[in-house]
Structure 1
Amino acid sequence: MEVVIQPDAAAIARLVADEVQSLLAARPDAVLGLATGSSPLAVYDELVRRYEAGVLSLARVRAFMLDEYVGLPDDHPERYRNVIEREFAGRVDLPAGAVQGPDGNAEDLPAACAAYEAAIAAAGGVDLQLLGIGSDGHIAFNEPGSSLASRTRIKTLTSQTRRDNARFFDGDVEAVPRHCLTQGLATIMSARHLVLVATGAGKAEAVHHLVEGPVSAMWPATIMQHHPRATVLVDDAAASRLQLAGYYREVFAGKPSWQGL
């Protein structure tokens, strides 16, 4: 696992966008994994800026979302399909239908989950998966206690996650759905490159467990320690609990420039 500490979200976004741009230069039809929440927004803005500058195209890209709420109306602004369209897909040249997500309004939710797993496999898997992390260590909606071998399925959201996400629902916790469909931890681990972004002091404890704690279902993101290519990018605040922060800075500063993330 590579840990990259940067001064702020903008610096992190530039590094992640560099990696995406390098991937698409080598493979224009790459498959991206898209995350929602606050963490990836600066990355999406930077990718949009490069698209508008004419140095990046996503015209041949396919993308898969990590998760989706269950039961939100199709036109609800916080339905994750709509969030991704608003924050990213609708601002670049991703083709119509290029972004797929689990169907949180399907009549048969287990069948929808199985179909989503099959769609990812049929696309050849995800080349680069963008991730955030919850304050309790969840990635996607794999809450504490999730099976480390889990696949796409329905999950019940914890009270903490619903409180954390209430900011997207005008502060109303009761408006946050209680259930979601989410890629499982094993599904996420099947991606070829995991890129996790975390900013702010509120993520410091989770980042500490992710990077320096034991692998445990109590902190689901720790499964990333077993991935052959996982990159964790954090700002100074999110890195504040890392015991080896000085070492991570030294290693990144001495990294060969050609290596990328």
Structure 2
Amino acid sequence: MEVLVSSTPEQTAARAAGAVLAALRRVAGRDPVLGLATGSSPLGLYRELGRAVERGDVDFSATYGVALDEYVGLPPGHPEGYRQVLLREVCEVVGLSPDRLAVPDGSSTDEASLEDSAAAYEARIADLGGVDVQVLGIGANGHLGFNEPGSALTSRTRIKRLSDRTRRDNARFFSGLDDVPTHCLTQGLGTILDARRLVLVATGDTKADAVAAALEGPLTASVPASVLQWHPDTVVCLDEAAAAGLRNRQYYDDSAAGLPER
């Protein structure tokens, strides 16, 4: 695991974008697949990718986008449905084709239909050749995607109940708490771990406890993001506030400096 701490959220976003682009450049012989998270944390990263497009450093027209999750029960086209969010925050920013954006279908409220949607989404990811680099945020309770505390560490895409903490955190995007869906379809922790590289972005002091527990605590279902410790190519990009609880900060900084010059 590589932990990169920057002075500001802007610098954090730039380093995260660099980690994403480095992974995409390794893809050969097929179209790259970029895993996409929603929420506030990755927004700066997506803006940095947009700037890279403007500079001519990268072209996302041949890239596929794969969403982490989707609410259950929102009608198609709802502005806070994650397909619509990703169209605004990623497709329009980096030039990713909407036709190449895959999002779980959570529009039904029938359990059997949702289970079929989850299985179909797993199959879609496999058909694309798997995710080359997955962008991630982290919830204040340590959730990854919508894998709430208690999620199985080997879980696959499925229906999940959202915790009260998550619904309250997301109420700012809706008219009020009562409008926030209670359930979602989310990639499982096992699905996330299948990605070839994971890039986690976290900024702000509200994420400090979750970040410390995920990176330096035990591997446990009580902190779903602790599965990051299990992945062979994880890059964690933090600002100073989000890194405030890390005990091994000096080591991370030393490691990021690289080999000494001779």
Match of 2:200 in 1: 196
Asked if 1:13 is matched to 2:13, the reply is yes
Q: Deviations over 1:86-109 (max 9, x none)?
A: 011123322231110100014500
User: Aligned partners of 1:78 and 1:39: how far apart in 2?
Assistant: 16
User: Aligned partners of 2:88 and 2:259: how far apart in 1?
Assistant: 36
User: Aligned partners of 2:22 and 2:251: how far apart in 1?
Assistant: 26
Q: Which amino acid aligns with 2:230?
A: H
Q: Which amino acid aligns with 2:59?
A: S
SS at 1:231 equivalent? strand
Match of 1:228 in 2: 232
User: Aligned partners of 1:256 and 1:9: how far apart in 2?
Assistant: 27
Match of 2:161 in 1: 156
Structure 1 pair 121/98, CA: closer, same or farther in 2 (3 Å)? same
Q: Are the counterparts in 2 of residues 23 and 30 from structure 1 also a CA contact under 8 Å?
A: no
Q: Which of 163, 172, 178 is matched with 1:167 structurally?
A: 172
SS at 2:184 equivalent? strand
User: Aligned partners of 1:16 and 1:165: how far apart in 2?
Assistant: 23
Q: Which deviates the most, 194-203 or 85-94?
A: 85-94
Q: Which deviates the most, 219-228 or 45-54?
A: 45-54
Match of 2:139 in 1: 134
Q: Supply the RMSD in Å over aligned alpha carbons.
A: 1.6
Displacement of 1:66 after TM fit?
Answer: 0.1
User: Pairwise mapping of residues 108-127 of structure 1 onto structure 2 (< 5 A)?
Assistant: 108-127=113-132
Asked if 1:89 is matched to 2:91, the reply is yes
Displacement of 1:26 after TM fit?
Answer: 4.1
Structure 1 pair 229/206, CA: closer, same or farther in 2 (3 Å)? same
Structure 1 pair 148/26, CA: closer, same or farther in 2 (3 Å)? closer
User: Aligned partners of 1:26 and 1:44: how far apart in 2?
Assistant: 19
Displacement of 1:225 after TM fit?
Answer: 0.7
Match of 2:183 in 1: 179
User: Aligned partners of 2:24 and 2:3: how far apart in 1?
Assistant: 23
User: Aligned partners of 1:24 and 1:214: how far apart in 2?
Assistant: 30
Asked if 1:242 is matched to 2:246, the reply is yes
Q: Deviations over 1:29-87 (max 9, x none)?
A: 21110000001000011111121232221011011000000111212111000000001
Count residues in correspondence. 256
Q: Which of 86, 97, 101 is matched with 1:99 structurally?
A: 101
SS at 1:246 equivalent? helix
Structure 1 pair 225/59, CA: closer, same or farther in 2 (3 Å)? same
Tell me the percent identity. Answer: 52
Q: Deviations over 1:201-255 (max 9, x none)?
A: 1000100111110000000110111111111111100111111112111211235
Q: Are the counterparts in 1 of residues 143 and 223 from structure 2 also a CA contact under 8 Å?
A: yes
Q: Are the counterparts in 2 of residues 197 and 233 from structure 1 also a CA contact under 8 Å?
A: yes
